[in-house]
Structure 1
Amino acid sequence: MTAQTLPTPPFRDPQLPPAKRIDDLLQRLTLDEKVALLHQFAPAVDRLRIAAFRTGQEALHGVAWMGPATVFPQAVGLGATWNEDLVRRVGEAVSTEVRAMRALDDRVGLNVWAPTVNLLRHPLWGRNEEGYSEDPKLTSAIATAYTRGLRGDHPTYWRTAPVLKHWLAHNNETGRDVTSSSVRPRVLHEYDLRAFRETVEAGAVAGVMPAYNLVNGRPNHVSPYLSEHLRTWTDEHLMVCSDASAPSNLVDSEHYFDTHEEATAAAIRAGVDSFTDHGTDGTKIVERIQGALVQGLLSADDIDEAVRRQLSVRFRLAEFDPEQDPYADAKDFDTPAHRDLAQEAAEQAVVLLKNEGGLLPLSGDTRIAVVGLLADECKLDWYSGALIHRSTPLEGVNDRFGAERVTFAEGVDRVRLKALSTGAYLSVPEAADATDEVRGAEGALDPALLAGRTDLPPLTTDPAGTDLALIDWGEGALTFRAPDGRYLSVAEDGYIRAAADQPGGWVVQEIFRLEPSESHENGHLLKHPGTGRYVTVAADGVKVADENDANPEVFELIVTEPGEEAVTRAAAAADVVVVVAGNDPHINGRETEDRPGLALPAHQERLLRAARAANPNTALVLVSAYPYALDHADLPAVLWTAHGGQAAGTALARVLAGDVSPAGRLPQTWYASDADLPDLLDYDVIGARQTYLYFEGTPLFPFGHGLSYADFAYENLNVLAGGGPDEGELTVSFTVTNTSGVSADEVAQLYVRAVAPSVPRPRRELLGHRRVTLAPGASTELTFRLPLSALEFWDVAHGRWHLEPGAYELLIGASSEDIRLRTTVDVEGDPIAPRPVLERGLDAADFDEQRGTEIVDRAKESGDAVTPTGGASGGTGELVFRNCDFGPAATELTVEVAGEGSVEFSLIGGPVLATLTLDQPTGDPDDPYTYTALRAGIEAAGVHDVHLKLRGPLRLARVGFSG
């Protein structure tokens, strides 16, 4: 029999069930071949005609890192649309471009790492731009829409395979690979798991990516929650892809395991199926897995399970059925439809925060001054593709209102830098323009091809020097721009050149900082944070100093024109001023860097005040990846939009002109000051009263807020209690009417509040929303069908969801604070039973209240314990457990503890009944998991609140009682 007549193996038969096909392929692969598949860059298996496969293609708001592509608004901007249909269509367009680009470049992967569903709990998180909302319901709705678009609508084959990021409770970049998020069970179930769960249950998710951080003392890459929760939510195989270098972090930075073999084995047993580590080189991971197999830390069955989940995704992508692939001929790329969609998304993402005195919309004959650092910028972020088209606010306003009616002032300071060692000034030498050499498809500019160039001449010094634009981004971060528009940048050879189209890259080589000189009163050292070195002037050009250079150059900064002067001139000559402020997504708040505070950078604040002083008709447009705190009392109009991609400027201009009535809504609370914020590492949204769900202060702008050029009336609220699969459902309906003469969108929002809960519940909680378009005078009836399970909370006393009986207030309106209709319904449920402590005891992490404690890992594999904050030195912490039923009598107390210290037991309102002390550590300092049981006699009967005081570096796992 010749090779041409060999029968088709079962794994290539599309008529067979996927499980049988995977079984067949698994038994054909050798163990070595299976092991090799577990690296991100899985090699080909030539003997079976199986191609190489790569997990991971960034596609957060467009195809990223693969060159020109359609760039949609940042994820937080898509969240601000509150529009699932729109976001689904964006997902479709992105995945279609993935397919089209893959047809030309096989480096483009079909396993896309998007969306990010981390909740925007804390606005200082550096990656705020990547999430959708602080609310789990809204986040899951938007994420589900995006994954459905990415997946496609074919019943068998997927256009792309989405992976959700980043599992779990991940909202800090500061120490992100070593910090632990203390997440108690109620927060875990009601908040952090919820966004993931509802999106996975919707059926368009191929997998998840664990986050860098630890949760309750245990790295996410060995989290038991992957099996205990994630994989119970769907019958589909879910592939878990590690984050980059995170497997090595288990040993190298976290020191959670002693050897990489042990760490890799633990990750695979926990459920990690693809290892993103050491770039394209899979040999290290293969060696570690093989070593774990030899040491008996892994079995062949463990490898099979991981490979099975990977293969399931590859089969869904039609890799083994190319003739059946419905997306094989996808060619749509940068189409007119995609361009229109990018503009529609940018328009819908604009949020009108304030509009007093009718300043907006602007009339067509208005003379407009467009000013500010973002006025003529179209900024990209780390997960953007390269722009094919772009529109800045200035360009958009020019196009819409006519350039002859528009004046512009960027507001940057014009400066010269004088080298005090010679008296000469920094000078940018003339160079042949290199921009055209690095333009790709349709003239798209790839900044990465400019930054880092070494073929351009470096800066020099001369008596005249060059006026540079100094852009002050706040927190000491400065960028300098040459007259030809290029930014000063440090290349690998250390020389400084005007070589970057924009600041960018993993390490931003365009940022500099001025530090006062101790030797010269008006002198400054110029430091380059990317290299950690100071700038010096050498005979062959200006560069960063060598490591052993102890004499960096001292510069005098001479301001030749303050930016405020240009802004004042432009503002004074205009009818209306539009100040465009905000951030550069690569500076002061980005991946690896959290923000220090909410304030608008001082230089931009000065520009805003200069414009307002010169012209009271000033509108502030914030273009940013995150919220700000600002004093807007004397500003008649304020708008916010995330960085809106390629059509940002056109979209903004259409909103300013009234061509589009703004209808974006804030996806997170805007706080009035830093004092309103909890610590960045405090993940207890309930105890710390975080997000709109629990925040008791007055926000600058509330969750769900957004104004319109139209007016809407809410009427005819009707609530029916009815059936459903479980005979437990509420049907809520009401009418929304556009009472104005302007066609516009409205975002109706439905919230709930438990009137008299027995445990802390949200002040109000989003249950549903709908974005609708209404012509002048038009009405629509909106109906929401709500399962009563939506009113449940996680009952820590019994470890289950619980529907508490009583009154629930339904709140309908235009934001979480702008409530137009309300009614109260009485819901039947089960009364909260006391904790049956004689039967169940108390798991330490199931507290109702705490002070000065954190949750840590009870053991490396699973389980939680509680310890006082303070690390190895220990401290004092307190736990409260409400409504503990001791029955007729409890006479003995048992605590399971490790380490050393004491546990003090009392009933609230009564004396200390027992103090149990560990005089000697239960294990050595490197083994905190050796537990022992301590016992003491007590007398307790009936129902009481329990108070425990923990002292010292101990771990409390459990408290038991007997009669």
Structure 2
Amino acid sequence: MVLADLTLAEKIALLHQSQPAVPRLGLEAWHTGCEALHGAAGLGRATVFPQAVGLGATWDRALLTAIGEAASTEVRAYRHDPPEGAPPASLNVWSPVVNPLRDPRWGRNEEGYSEDPLATAELAIAYCTGLRGRHPAVWRTAPVLKHFLAYNVETERDIVDVIVPERVLYEYELPVFLEPLRAGVVAGVMPAYNLVNGVPNHVHPLLGRALRAVKPDVVVCSDAQAPSNLVERERYFATHAESHAAALHAGVDSYTDNGTDPAPTIERFTEALARGLITEADIDAAVGRLLALRASTGEFDPAHDPYAGTRRDVVACDAHNRLAARAARESIVLLRNDGGALPFTDRSVAVVGPLGGRVLRDWYSGTLPYAVTIEAALRDRLGPDRVIAAEGVDLVRLVAPDGRQVHAGPDGALSLAEGPGAVFAHQDWGTSVQCPDPVHTLRSLDHGYLTADDDGVLSATAETPDGWVVRELWELHPALRNNGSGLYVSERLVADSDTPDLELRLERVADGVAEAVAAARAAERVVVVLGNDPHINGRETVDRDGLALPAQQEELLRAVVAANPDTVLVLVSSYPYAIDWAAANVPAILWTAHAGQEQGNAVADTLLGASNPGGRLPQTWYGADTKLPAPLDYDVIGAGWTYQYHRGTALFPFGHGLSYTTFGYGPLTVTHEDDGWVAALSVTNTGLVPGDEVVQVYATPRDWPVEAPVRRLVAFERITLEPGETSEMRLPIPEWVLSYWHEGRLNGPTGTFGFTAGGA
């Protein structure tokens, strides 16, 4: 009834992300978009769970559903009980990201679950089930899948045209969107910035032909500024009226454009209507879907909203913190454990490396309610006198050609003066596609990171590298240039110059590697903690240019192992690394994504055996000598991407992960029953300690008329078994994973298959 009572002008205004209130109808102001990728984000303090790629490493549907419930409950709290002066949170959450992790160099690798479409789809369904809630009528939040379609490149992402063979579309790219839609737990989809096969995703016919064929009322929310990009960047249309009309016809309902200003969107649709490019019925269809989404969250019937009483006391509550701890433990993957190097007992330990004493957020994290570092957790368990810490980075001063040095005042303000200046911890983070010169951070020991404000004025005040534009990154040419603005530092200590007028060199006052080596020699065992900062060289807008560790970190690792071979490498990263040397020379290697507030406790418990690692890799870790396909080669079949079609030997294969116990498998049978295909087998814990196994079933097609995958994941389940315990398992196999695209349709299941089951 609301739609029929709106005027045409009011309906057009509702097409923008920031919908104005319509007081005469009781409609409040509303906006699409609240991030909840691994917890409520952008709202303030919230429970921070492991990054999505870490959640993918758990292979645990029940866990992801529970995390979705917690995240959506906290979003609800910020909706019904916002902080003073803050607007109520939107219940339309733009999560999860379901793009398969085809290329590990993708800057947003941290945001996806897996390189495999079945694992991605199943975990997305689980997470969206939690986000949606179990009430039959009212959705706790309304999830939006991102980013449709074939989006794995940040470099020129808003203009790049990726060519995707039809078979790859239907077997690899589309199922991750279609299966969650079929499950009925998704309210919307967001198109990606790029073009696919010559057509921008925001006007792609697959929005209607694929998505709306499965869910006619699915809401399509544009990505930020993408509607304008159709004209201004992609030059696909001559005018905005034409581009907006085409997007509306293609199926886009909500226009995230020009920030919070709806005026340009209103003007463009008004012109399109006047020119006959669209009809009022076209507008009604889009606005009707948007109003239905709002109604699904209980907005129009608050008296019967079961979630209306949610308050901010649930944010980072004890139950959510315990869930964060469980998720951090389950996401850890034991990559190597030569000779039973892990777990270790309470010997003296040197914690070495730039990430041992830090817990890092990413762009889509909430504000950490607390943070436990690996160093602090080991001190807590072993005693403060048994843990030595060494960050392993050089300490430097910034020196001008005339000998003056950069000094920092009590408030972090900087000046050039005579005498010894401020001491900075210097870290080289290496290069990226967007910046072929290495980027560096400089952290004052007495204040914060060297940063430049909006006017370019330098100070040592930043708590951490952060922000959409990271102003804490510096290039050395040898003049100091701010990576965020691209401007050089002038005599005034302001990044405001196009030319390198002031050469500020780094004068080393302490050798980080030497410090780490000394710590390694002083302890019985070393834990080296390396990895990435999620805001640097691998994030939204920035792709990695390779798989190697930053050279500074590789040098540190080799020196420490030479000093004390009894070393464990802990990688805390958003993506895989080609760690060939470490895989051959370091006895034990753990990987975790940035795991949130409980990261330190989870890693320490795993190192000491209080927690048995059960995570498995959600994507292939390639070796340094693997020649990866070009980033824009989306033909996973022809190019040999992912475990399905890669013919070489992986450094660590998809699904890999070790345990402190062992598992035995009984015979595997696959049958077709009334409710579909089922794999049946028994799994026994044949070791001495309890443990989690990720049971993985793969199929190898033997007589398809098209090139078949080497193997394809068709079923999986994470289980917990006590020593000697056996689980009799029945795992459903979806028909689509046994099918192939040929001659314009999905064919199968057909032919013969070889089936295998195991823990990798």
> TM-score normalised to the size of structure 1?
0.76
- Judging by fraction of residues, say which structure has more strand: 1
- 1:401 maps to amino acid: L
Q: How does 1:288-307 map to 2 (within 5 A)?
A: 288-307=268-287
Question: How far has the Cα of 1:786 moved from its partner?
Answer: 2.9
Q: How does 1:6-21 map to 2 (within 5 A)?
A: none
Alpha-carbon distance change, 551 to 809 in structure 1, aligned in 2, over 3 angstroms: closer
Question: How far has the Cα of 1:485 moved from its partner?
Answer: 4.8
1:366, 1:649 → 2: CA distance? Answer: 18
In structure 1, list runs of 5 or more residues that go unmatched. Answer: 1-23, 432-455, 516-523, 816-963
- 2:331 maps to amino acid: A
Alpha carbons 2:390, 2:515 under 8 Å: kept: yes
1:778, 1:215 → 2: CA distance? Answer: 50
1:251, 1:785 → 2: CA distance? Answer: 46
> Where does residue 238 of structure 1 map in the other structure?
218
Q: How does 1:144-293 map to 2 (within 5 A)?
A: 144-234=125-215, 237-293=217-273
| 1:643 and 2:624 aligned | no
> Where does residue 481 of structure 2 map in the other structure?
527
> Where does residue 740 of structure 1 map in the other structure?
687
| 1:559 and 2:508 aligned | yes
1:691, 1:721 → 2: CA distance? Answer: 28
Q: 1:666 aligns with which of 617, 624, 627?
A: 617
> TM-score normalised to the size of structure 2?
0.97
Q: 1:347 aligns with which of 329, 333, 339?
A: 329
| 1:806 and 2:755 aligned | no
> Where does residue 99 of structure 2 map in the other structure?
118
Alpha carbons 2:374, 2:604 under 8 Å: kept: yes
1:789, 1:221 → 2: CA distance? Answer: 27
2:443, 2:180 → 1: CA distance? Answer: 44
Q: How does 1:830-849 map to 2 (within 5 A)?
A: none
1:707, 1:211 → 2: CA distance? Answer: 36
What secondary structure is seen at the aligned counterpart in 2 of 1:761? coil
Q: 1:749 aligns with which of 679, 696, 721?
A: 696
What secondary structure is seen at the aligned counterpart in 1 of 2:11? helix
- 2:276 maps to amino acid: G
> Where does residue 722 of structure 2 map in the other structure?
775
Alpha-carbon distance change, 497 to 355 in structure 1, aligned in 2, over 3 angstroms: same
Q: How does 1:899-938 map to 2 (within 5 A)?
A: none
1:358, 1:471 → 2: CA distance? Answer: 33
Alpha-carbon distance change, 723 to 668 in structure 1, aligned in 2, over 3 angstroms: same
Q: How does 1:326-475 map to 2 (within 5 A)?
A: 326-331=306-311, 332-363=314-345, 365-420=346-401, 422-431=402-411, 457-475=413-431
> Where does residue 623 of structure 1 map in the other structure?
572
Q: Which moved more, 1:580-589 or 1:777-786?
A: 777-786
Structure with more contact order per residue of length (Cα contacts < 8 Å, sep ≥ 6): 2
Alpha-carbon distance change, 495 to 205 in structure 1, aligned in 2, over 3 angstroms: same
Q: 2:532 aligns with which of 577, 580, 583?
A: 583
Q: 1:677 aligns with which of 610, 614, 628?
A: 628
Q: 1:537 aligns with which of 464, 467, 491?
A: 491
- 1:66 maps to amino acid: L
1:721, 1:72 → 2: CA distance? Answer: 38
Alpha carbons 2:735, 2:749 under 8 Å: kept: no
Q: Tell me the percent identity.
A: 51
Alpha carbons 2:480, 2:500 under 8 Å: kept: no
Q: CA RMSD of the aligned region, Å?
A: 1.2
Alpha carbons 1:428, 1:460 under 8 Å: kept: no
- 1:810 maps to amino acid: F
> Where does residue 435 of structure 2 map in the other structure?
none
Question: How far has the Cα of 1:503 moved from its partner?
Answer: 0.3
Alpha-carbon distance change, 674 to 168 in structure 1, aligned in 2, over 3 angstroms: farther
1:674, 1:211 → 2: CA distance? Answer: 32
2:360, 2:418 → 1: CA distance? Answer: 33
What secondary structure is seen at the aligned counterpart in 2 of 1:503? coil
- 1:577 maps to amino acid: V
Question: How far has the Cα of 1:393 moved from its partner?
Answer: 1.2
| 1:317 and 2:297 aligned | yes
Question: How far has the Cα of 1:803 moved from its partner?
Answer: 2.1
Question: How far has the Cα of 1:790 moved from its partner?
Answer: 3.6
Question: How far has the Cα of 1:458 moved from its partner?
Answer: 3.1
Question: How far has the Cα of 1:358 moved from its partner?
Answer: 1.2
> Where does residue 29 of structure 1 map in the other structure?
6
1:762, 1:26 → 2: CA distance? Answer: 49
- 2:57 maps to amino acid: A
In structure 2, list runs of 5 or more residues that go unmatched. Answer: 432-437
- 2:261 maps to amino acid: D
What secondary structure is seen at the aligned counterpart in 2 of 1:205? coil
Question: How far has the Cα of 1:722 moved from its partner?
Answer: 3.3
Alpha carbons 1:459, 1:498 under 8 Å: kept: no
Alpha-carbon distance change, 595 to 788 in structure 1, aligned in 2, over 3 angstroms: closer
Q: Which moved more, 1:524-533 or 1:692-701?
A: 524-533
1:395, 1:289 → 2: CA distance? Answer: 56
What secondary structure is seen at the aligned counterpart in 2 of 1:783? strand
Question: How far has the Cα of 1:738 moved from its partner?
Answer: 0.7
2:224, 2:22 → 1: CA distance? Answer: 24
Question: How far has the Cα of 1:769 moved from its partner?
Answer: 0.5
1:746, 1:566 → 2: CA distance? Answer: 40
Rg larger in 1 or in 2?
Answer: 1
- Judging by fraction of residues, say which structure has more helix: 2
> Where does residue 55 of structure 2 map in the other structure?
78
- 1:388 maps to amino acid: P
What secondary structure is seen at the aligned counterpart in 2 of 1:565? helix
1:612, 1:152 → 2: CA distance? Answer: 49
1:665, 1:95 → 2: CA distance? Answer: 26
2:545, 2:104 → 1: CA distance? Answer: 10
- 1:660 maps to amino acid: S
1:273, 1:551 → 2: CA distance? Answer: 48
Alpha carbons 2:489, 2:500 under 8 Å: kept: no
Question: How far has the Cα of 1:759 moved from its partner?
Answer: 1.1
| 1:720 and 2:708 aligned | no
- 1:751 maps to amino acid: Y
Question: How far has the Cα of 1:461 moved from its partner?
Answer: 2.9
1:168, 1:477 → 2: CA distance? Answer: 31
